[in-house]
Amino acid sequence: MTELLLFSIAAFVVVCMLSAFMRSGRFFSSLFFSALSGLGGLFLTYGIGLYTIPLLVISPLTIAVSVFLGLPGVIGMLCLKLL
């Protein structure tokens, strides 16, 4: 039951992000910038974690979250990891 709820929330967030990209008038450039900034934040966090405590690992889930949600997704994953 909780998995279905989490999946529903994640789907809602992705739909909201895609609608925000469409309303900007520059869908592909907004999506590309968000994906690049999210991946940059993820790899920067991973690189810093090599020298300190590893906070985020590189997995298909973390890459998908950072691509679709950008930097807010990376910050959200860090907050969830630190709780």
pLDDT of residue 61: 86
Given a cut of 70, whether residue 1 has pLDDT beyond it is no
- The number of folded domains in the chain is 1
Q: Which amino acid is at 31?
A: L
Percentage of residues in the chain having pLDDT higher than 90: 0
pLDDT at 83: 63
pTM over 0.85: no
The Cα–Cα gap between 11 and 80 comes to 18
Q: Which residues contact 38 (CB under 8 A, 6 or more apart)?
A: 65, 66, 67, 68, 69, 70, 71, 73, 74
